[in-house]
């Protein structure tokens, strides 16, 4: 496995890869050996940006001009009640990751101490550093130093109402609120189709949040068993489109009062695990048992009697039992993403075959699925680059090369990242926008995990 040891890249090379950003000198809480991790990890997801006040762009941000200045240079950052300063450039000491989330063409991570770092594509401000300049190494998100976890999301679409790129990220903060940045089909600061924000904005109406989950064009939160969603609505918000339209602020999903886990990383549907360990889904595509455009939560028949975790992909979903086995998946299967050894779609759950142990974490991407095993190994199945050194689809789990101490895996659009017990992040797959975070600007796909610079 490449780059699995300590980070040793010279600061001058990091600065060059960042387009000349000055290196950031971190506080002790950001680096290895600092403050403890503040919460459970969160998989990738998506958002509708809404918030007030509107912070605008970070000081001295490059913006669309592409001038990649250090946002903190020259002008003091706006006050955020002590939450932090504007994004300060590229990483220098080694960071200790407490969560990681792979999005469309970018990746974000929280570190010990509560700061957030992102890397990859940035044309919608999804890196949150106050610029719109792509970065192949991590840059610090502006104004945040109290994040528990981060979720990144979005997608490419080729036609229809949502044609184009949706790219964004949200941080779950210590006060149980959300800050979001980038764009989610234009929901920003309470206005529909208003554009993007390259710095974090608070989400109106998101309070006492205990979990976040995001799809391509929508975001959902969990609070005291209730689920609330907002964004583009084809039923994935739990409301008929005719009754809510595309709300820019959270709307309660009717009938769900005892959810314990949610997942919405998929195209147009959302799923929840309830207190009785059943699974309910709503929306379109393959969410509610293959039914199309159904805003009412529907129990998935045949799913595990003791489901404890969920992973929703583009048009498929998976659940794992409290015992860590079995794992069941349902939905589209053209690339083998259901893991049952076939390419046959299924509207009811099928059991993943050939897993090498008990599963402690799941992630679902565009056309692939990955699992963290109890012994620290990672296995993936489906289409794209699965991390085993090949670019061949597999309808059965294959072991990712070189990772033996994983605690989390996050699947993006066409790339995947794992977080280790040592706080390191390793990524593999598509790197067209620097989303693997190793400083490579050639766009070369990596079929095996590579270490993210600075982690």
Could you list the pLDDT tens digit for every one of the 455 residues in the chain? Answer: 333 333 222 233 233 333 333 333 344 345 543 332 223 333 333 222 233 334 544 433 333 333 333 333 322 233 343 444 455 556 666 899 999 999 889 999 999 999 999 999 998 899 999 999 999 999 999 999 999 999 987 765 444 434 446 788 999 999 988 898 988 543 444 444 456 789 998 887 777 888 888 777 778 889 899 998 887 666 666 665 555 556 567 788 888 999 999 888 666 788 899 999 999 888 875 543 454 567 788 888 888 778 888 999 888 999 999 899 999 999 999 999 999 999 999 988 999 999 999 999 999 998 999 999 999 999 999 998 999 999 999 999 999 999 999 999 999 989 999 999 999 999 999 999 999 999 998 889 999 999 999 99
Q: Which domains does the chain have, with CATH numbers?
A: 11-451 (2.130.10.30)
How far apart are the C-alpha atoms of 374 and 202, rounded to whole Å?
36
pLDDT of residue 121: 92
pLDDT of residue 428: 98
pLDDT of residue 167: 84
Angle at 169 between CA 2 and CA 130, to 5 degrees: 90
pLDDT of residue 30: 54
How far apart are the C-alpha atoms of 171 and 209, rounded to whole Å?
11
How far apart are the C-alpha atoms of 299 and 308, rounded to whole Å?
15
pLDDT of residue 13: 29
Q: Which of 6, 2, 3 is nearest to 95 (CA)?
A: 6
How far apart are the C-alpha atoms of 330 and 345, rounded to whole Å?
7
All residues at 6 or more sequence positions from 442 whose CB lies less than 8 Å from its CB, including other chains? none
pLDDT of residue 150: 94
How far apart are the C-alpha atoms of 150 and 115, rounded to whole Å?
10
Helix boundaries (H) for 233-371: 241-244
Question: Could you count the other beta carbons within 10 Å of the beta carbon of residue 375?
Answer: 12
Handedness of CA 42, 46, 51, 53 (dihedral sign): positive
Q: Tell me if the pTM is above 0.85.
A: no
How far apart are the C-alpha atoms of 222 and 409, rounded to whole Å?
21
Q: How many residues does the chain have?
A: 455
Q: Number of C-alpha atoms within 13 angstroms, CB side, residue 98? A: 26
């Amino acid at each position: 496995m490449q780059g699995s040891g300590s980070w040793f890249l010279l600061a001058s090379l990091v600065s060059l890869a960042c387009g000349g950003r000055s290196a950031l000198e971190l506080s002790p809480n950001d680096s290895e050996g600092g403050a403890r991790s503040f919460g459970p990890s969160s998989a990738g997801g998506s958002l509708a940006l809404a918030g007030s006040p509107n912070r605008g762009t970070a000081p001295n941000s490059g913006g669309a001009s592409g001038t990649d200045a250090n946002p903190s240079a020259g002008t003091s950052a706006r006050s955020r009640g002590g939450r932090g300063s504007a994004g300060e450039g590229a990483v220098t000491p080694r960071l200790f990751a407490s969560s990681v989330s792979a999005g469309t063409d970018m990746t974000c991570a929280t570190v010990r101490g509560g700061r957030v770092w992102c890397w990859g594509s940035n044309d919608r401000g999804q890196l949150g550093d106050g610029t719109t300049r792509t970065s192949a190494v991590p840059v610090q998100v502006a104004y945040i130093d109290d994040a528990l976890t981060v979720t990144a999301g979005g997608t490419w679409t080729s036609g229809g109402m949502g044609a184009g790129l949706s790219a964004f990220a949200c941080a779950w903060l210590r006060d149980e609120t959300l800050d979001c940045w980038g764009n989610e089909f234009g929901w920003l600061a309470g206005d529909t189709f208003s554009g993007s924000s390259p710095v974090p904005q608070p989400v109106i109406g998101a309070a006492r949040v205990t979990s976040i989950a995001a799809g391509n064009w929508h975001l959902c939160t969990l609070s005291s068993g209730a689920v609330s969603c907002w964004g583009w609505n084809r039923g994935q918000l739990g409301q008929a489109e005719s009754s809510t339209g595309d709300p820019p602020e959270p709307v309660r999903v009717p009938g769900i009062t005892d959810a314990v886990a949610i997942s919405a990383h998929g195209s147009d549907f959302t799923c929840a695990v309830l207190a009785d360990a059943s699974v309910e889904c709503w929306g379109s595509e393959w969410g509610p048992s293959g039914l199309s455009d159904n805003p009412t939560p529907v129990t998935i028949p045949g799913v595990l009697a003791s489901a404890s975790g969920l992973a929703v992909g583009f048009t498929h979903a998976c659940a794992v039992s409290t015992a860590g086995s079995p794992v069941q998946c349902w939905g589209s299967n053209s690339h083998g993403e259901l893991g049952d050894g076939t390419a046959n779609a299924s509207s009811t759950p099928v059991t993943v075959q050939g897993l090498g142990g008990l599963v402690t974490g799941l992630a679902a991407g565009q056309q692939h699925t990955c699992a963290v095993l109890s012994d620290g190994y990672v296995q993936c199945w489906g289409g794209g680059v699965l991390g085993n050194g090949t670019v061949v689809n597999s309808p059965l789990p294959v072991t990712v090369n070189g990772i033996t101490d994983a605690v989390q895996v996050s699947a993006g659009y066409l790339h995947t990242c794992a977080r280790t017990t040592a706080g390191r992040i390793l990524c593999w797959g598509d790197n067209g926008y620097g989303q693997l975070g190793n400083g490579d600007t050639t766009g070369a796909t990596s079929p095996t995990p590579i270490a993210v610079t600075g982690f």
